[in-house]
Amino acid sequence: MYITINLKSDKSIYQQIYDTIINGIVSGELREGTILPSARQLSASLDVNFHTVNKAYNILKNNGFLILNRKKEFVVQKKVQRNTEFVIKWEEEEKEHINEALANGLSENEIFEILKTILIEKVR
């Protein structure tokens, strides 16, 4: 399994790694059981520090997206249970984010259209 990550600016590196892997899981590219490259390997290929990759992997592990198997490999895990705590937290974050858009002058309608477009692209 190969992970390619474009290290664009703005977001922190570990966040970009985190987001990329979440993306892979959502898109189906990374299936349950997929073994990720070792933190050391990935850090070398991204030309980034080991700890930075390790941090991303560990947050993914804590959030239930990865597990460490007996061989100490990071393996993609499908989240089974719906976590109401997560939904609550997610809604909070979403409200904050929409507020940010409103604060920057976007109208409710504009935001609604953007959100619809994003979701339609996902469904495809």
Contacting positions for DNA (CB under 7 A): 12-15, 38-41, 48-52, 54-55, 57-58, 61, 68, 70-74
Number of C-beta neighbours around residue 39 at 10 A: 20
Minimum CB distance to its own copies, residue 2 (Å): 18
Q: Which residues pair with 74 in a beta bridge?
A: 68
Question: Should residue 81 be labelled a site residue for its own copies when binding is judged by CB under 8 A?
Answer: yes
Binding string to its own copies for residues 33 to 72, with x set by CB under 8 A, is what?
Answer: -----------------------------x--x-xxxx--
To the nearest 10°, report the CA torsion of 44, 48, 49, 54.
-80
**For the residues of 14-44, what is the DSSP string, one character each?**
HHHHHHHHHHHHHHTSS-TTPBPPPHHHHHH
Does 19 bind its own copies (CB under 8 A)? Our answer is yes
Smaller CB separation from DNA, 25 or 46: 46
95 binds, among its own copies, DNA, none (CB under 5 to 8 A by kind): its own copies
Q: Are 79 and 65 in contact (CB under 8 A)?
A: yes
